[in-house]
Amino acid sequence: MPTPPSTDAAPAALPAVAAVVPAAPERPLTGPLPLTRTPHRLPAPSDWTFELIEQYHDVIRHTAQRYGLDTYPNQLEIITAEQMMDAYASVGMPVNYRHWSYGKEFISTEKNYKRGAMGLAYEIVINSNPCISYLMEENTMPMQALVIAHAAYGHNSFFKGNYLFRMWTDASSIIDYLVYAKNYVAECEERHGLDVVEEFLDSCHALQNHGVDRYRRPARKTLAQELSARKDREAYAQQQVNDLWRTLPRQAERAEGPAEARRFPDEPQENLLYFIEKNAPLLEPWQREIVRIVRKVAQYFYPQRQTQVMNEGWATFWHHRLLNQMYDDGYLADGVMIEWLKSHTNVVYQPKVGDRGYSGFNPYALGFAIYTDLKRICEAPTDEDRAWFPDIAGTPWVPALDHAMRNYKDESFIGQYLSPKLMREFRMFAILDDDKQSEIEVSAIHDDSGYRRVREALSRQYDLGSREPNIQVWNVNLRGDRSLTLRHFQHNDRPLDDSANEVLKHVARLWGFGVHLESANGKGDVTKRWTVPAPAH
């Protein structure tokens, strides 16, 4: 019988193993590690081959490791334009349940693409483990290099590092979950009929944006915790038993108020789909499961909706940094640089207000600018930077950026890192639009008195909470007609669009009884009501 290794030897062996794999350092590096291999010029034809992608990927990976980018393992997949359109249509996921709205998406994408009205995205990347990046077959070799650096290292490290993704998404199980969802929905269609399932999914989709948790629910208590809590309660109750008090006349039982005064749920709830899944009286078990599936998928995409600027900016910053580093090391030829830089410039182009094609801020441009500016503040701070960013000015940039990527979402990221210099460069100005005034007002511009206001306004603009109406479950009429009341809490008196009535019909279908919606202004007064009667059963 072989002798078991002594217990002393085991811990000693561990660090040795860890030393071999330096890929994921505990703390971010303070700067790029030195080049450890002798660089060689990579071939630069315009057509790609598998060997070439392999070679480029190898160098990109090595360069990314020198900057300490921590990623999920990468899986690069070559796909055709058609497959790209397929992926587009099913919200970028490789597999999803079937629904007519994805068909609509596909048809319009296909039409636009065939007419040449739009180019397809160069890449799609999926927040999964391993991280799947799609490379389109039409791309040239320099473009493939750009996509690999952008998606497989930029986005990938963001998915793995950002706190919202860490909290809300489970990269290792999403594909499996979607496979399950697809099969489950297909099974329901078979059992209950296409129309019924389709109608039901429509209703769930209408509430998709209101089917996410913004904060974690408290974890369910374990049995042990439950037991000890019970003991505490009993001990406390025992302490309260005092026969002396029994001699006092009992207070006349407080008339328990009018029954309606107590609402159900006690506190308003913002996750409408969750509330429906748990409380809608008439749903069949399969319907509850479908609500759950839609809710889970919405939750999976919730972080992406909140980190557009950060995520795209991060990926753009890193493809720019990595490819430039590779050029400096002597890997890349001039032609390759020119080609990817051309796409890069298109991607980060920011039209000005009033330009043709202006539609708000370009998240790529804004994000890229902020990260680049952050690096500048670290490396070459001005006096202004020292005043605005005392804690990062002059510190190593790699850890500063890493921190920024991990711990913020768009709203707080802009609120924290948008510098006066950038506001000047973008020539930002804030417009206040109050419908009670006949004119709109320039409330702040890029000057000393306006920096903070502009930054605050822009930050708020990226707050999902103010972009989407705040609608919560307010009450259920438990004693009467079981109708559900939702309440819209107005923000800055912004009214709800009348299409709300259409959505309410969907809510009524899910709830099974009548549904009311009240829109309440800042003072708590209801200014508008919508009502949809119970659907016919």
Partner 1 sequence: MALQSIIDRRLAGKNKSIGNRERFMRRYKDQIREAVRRAVDGRGIRDLERGEEVRIPKKDLSEPVFHHASGGVREAVHPGNQEYIQGDRIKRPPGGQGGGSGKGQASDQGEGEDDFSFALSKEEFMQVFFEDLALPHLVRTQLAETPEFKTHRAGYSSDGTPNNLHVVRSLRGAIGRRLAIGSGSRRELAELEAELAIAQAAAEAGDAAAKQALPMLTERVTALRERLSRIPYLDPIDLRFRSRVKVPVPTSKAVMFCLMDVSGSMDEGRKELSKRFFILLYLFLTRHYEKIEIVFIRHHTQAQEVDEENFFHARETGGTVVSSALVLMDEIIRARYSPSEWNIYGAQASDGDNWHHDSGRCREILAQQILPMCRYFAYVQVAEEEQNLWEEYTQLAQGQPHFAMRKATAADQIYPVFRDLFKKEGAAQAA
Place of tokens 């970028």: 92
Is residue 354 near partner 1 by the rule CB under 8 A? yes
Closer residue to partner 1 (CB): 125 or 207: 207
In the shown chain, the binding pattern of residues 408 to 427 toward partner 1, with x for contact by CB under 8 A and - for none, equals: ------------------xx
- Cα-only R_g, the chain: 28
Quick one: DSSP state of residue 511? H
Which one among 392, 457, 473, 508 touches partner 1, defined by CB under 8 A?
A: 457
Q: Can residue 353 be called a binding residue for partner 1 (CB under 8 A)?
A: yes
For residue 278 the two structure tokens come to 């748990």
Closest by CA position to 513, among listed 305, 184, 202, 283? 283
Q: To the nearest whole angstrom, how small is the minimum distance from the Cβ of residue 259 to partner 1?
A: 30
If one asks whether residue 440 binds partner 1 (CB under 8 A), the answer comes out as yes
Which of 333, 341, 496, 534 binds partner 1 (CB under 8 A)? It is 496
Shortest approach of partner 1 to residue 295 CB, angstroms?
Answer: 15
CA distance 154 to 368: 12
Contact status: 259 vs partner 1 (CB under 8 A): no
| 194 near partner 1, rule: CB under 8 A | yes
Q: Which stretch binds partner 1 (CB under 8 A): 92-100, 245-253, 294-302, 390-398?
A: 92-100
- In angstroms, the Cα distances linking 367 to 272, 346, 347, 427 are 32, 15, 11, 16
Sequential DSSP letters for 138-152? TS-HHHHHHHIIIII
Q: Are the beta carbons of 292 and 200 closer than 8 angstroms?
A: no
Q: Which residues contact 382 (CB under 8 A, 6 or more apart)?
A: 421
Where does this chain touch partner 1 (CB under 8 A) — which range of 129-137, 172-180, 217-225, 372-380?
129-137
**How far is 81 from 138, CA to CA, in rounded Å?**
7
Give the range of 117-125, 475-483, 497-505, 508-516 binding partner 1 by CB under 8 A.
Answer: 497-505
DSSP 260-291: GGS-SSSS-BS-HHHHHHHH-TT--HHHHHHH
Q: Report 208-247 residues binding partner 1 (CB under 8 A).
A: 208-210
The SS3 assignment for 530 reads: strand
Nearer to partner 1, 393 or 471 (CB): 471
Note whether 80 binds partner 1 by CB under 8 A: yes
By CB under 8 A, name the one of 28, 42, 44, 57 that touches partner 1: 57
* Cβ distance to partner 1 smaller for residue 351 or 399: 351
* Amino acid sitting at position 424: R
Q: Which of 30, 118, 119, 137 binds partner 1 (CB under 8 A)?
A: 137
Q: Which is nearer to partner 1, 18 or 338 (CB)?
A: 18
2-10, 170-178, 202-210, 292-300 -> range binding partner 1 (CB under 8 A): 202-210
Note whether 485 and 478 are within 8 A (CB): no
How many residues bind to partner 1 according to rule CB under 8 A? 101
Q: Which residues on adjacent β-strands are paired with residue 471?
A: 488
| CB 90 within 8 Å of CB 124 | no
What is the C-alpha separation between 268 and 265, in angstroms, rounded?
Answer: 6
Contact range with partner 1 by CB under 8 A, out of 292-300, 329-337, 386-394, 502-510: 502-510
Q: Is 473 exposed, middle or buried (0-12, 13-18, 19+ CB in 10 A)?
A: buried
Q: Which helix (H) or strand (E) holds 135?
A: strand 131-136
| Stretch 473-492 residues interacting with partner 1 (CB under 8 A) | 488, 490-492
Residue 181 CB-density burial (10 A; 0-12 exposed, 13-18 middle, 19+ buried): buried
Per CB under 8 A, 435 contacts partner 1 = yes
198 belongs to the binding site for partner 1 (CB under 8 A)? yes
Q: Which residues contact 399 (CB under 8 A, 6 or more apart)?
A: 27, 28, 29, 30
Q: Answer yes or no whether residue 41 interacts with partner 1 by CB under 8 A.
A: no
How many residues can be counted in the chain? 537
- List alpha helices for 307-333, DSSP H: 308-329
350 vs 395, which CB is nearer to partner 1? 350
Q: How far is the CB of 210 from partner 1 (least distance, A)?
A: 7
Residue closer to partner 1 by CB (options 84, 401) is 84
Q: Minimum CB separation from partner 1 for residue 215, in Å?
A: 20
Q: Which stretch binds partner 1 (CB under 8 A): 118-126, 163-171, 447-455, 508-516?
A: 447-455
Nearer to partner 1, 299 or 490 (CB): 490
The amino acid occupying position 171 is: A
Any contact of residue 120 with partner 1 (CB under 8 A)? no
Task: Verify binding: residue 98, partner 1, rule CB under 8 A.
Answer: yes
Binding map of partner 1 across residues 377-406, x = CB under 8 A, - = no contact: ------------------------------
Task: Based on the shown chain and the rule CB under 8 A, indicate whether residue 108 belongs to the binding site for partner 1.
Answer: yes
